[in-house]
Amino acid sequence: MEKIMEQPEQKRKMHPHKFALYIAMGSIVMMFAGLTSAYIVRQAQGNWIYYRLPVTFWVSTVAILISSVTLHMGVRAFKQRLIPRYRSLLTITVVLGILFCVLQWVGFRQLTAHNIRLNGNPSESFLFIIAGLHLFHIMGGIIALIIVFFRAFRTRVKVYNATGLEIVASYWHFVDVLWIYLFVFFLANQ
């Protein structure tokens, strides 16, 4: 009677870049958790000004939500090798990401026009610092999207490896969810 040896099940290893991304996202979560906690602590100390967020922040929120949907659909199209659809959806995502930044800039200009400034009351400073840091992270995401965009349209190399795209998409969805958290946080503390 012959003994059948079973092969040990191979563990799926996480791509090192994905692992690094998850570590970075954990650090970013901790930074924003600390900033929003400091906001709450400082707010409780008094001398706090309450103000309304501009409507453009609402519109920018819609833009980033739609961009997350288009990127998700784009990743699916890439995996199904529907490259023209993938390119269209990626283009829309990049445009919506840039639109988010422009709308945020307009929103900050509107706040400044109403005398709400970075160096004003602590409530104003917290808004500008927290939202500004988020905008900085969004710009990093846009740079990554633009790199993926140019790779999508190059004609020389045709490699259907989704890892880089998945990393960019994970980061983009992360900054999207982070903005939703911050936006709701600011609305709840108006």
- The answer to whether residue 37 is domain-embedded is no
Mean local confidence (pLDDT), 158-163:
78
Rounded average pLDDT over 32-59:
93
Residue 134 confidence (pLDDT) above 90: yes
Please state the three-class secondary structure of 162-183 as a single string. CHHHHHHHHHHHHHHHHHHHHH
Q: pLDDT for 88-129, tens place per residue?
A: 999 999 999 999 999 999 999 999 999 888 888 899 999 999
pLDDT band (50, 70, 90) for residue 130: very high
Q: Is the pTM of this model over 0.85?
A: yes
Q: What is the mean pLDDT of residues 66-82?
A: 95
Query: Considering the domain boundaries, does residue 12 fall inside one?
Result: no
Domain assignment of residue 118, yes or no: yes
How do residues 1-12 score in pLDDT, each as one tens digit?
Answer: 455 555 555 567
Answer yes or no: is 65 within a domain.
Answer: yes
DSSP output for 26-62 = HHHHHHHHHHHHHHHHHHHTS-----PPPHHHHHHHH
- In a domain, residue 105? The reply is yes
Q: How many domains does the chain have?
A: 1
Is the residue at 4 inside a domain? no
| 127 in any annotated domain | yes
Query: Is residue 152 in some structural domain?
Result: yes
For residues 122 and 64, the answer to whether their CB atoms sit within 8 Å is: no
Question: Residue 153 is part of a domain; what is its CATH number?
Answer: 1.20.120.80
Query: What domain range includes position 161?
Result: 51-188
Mean pLDDT of the chain: 90
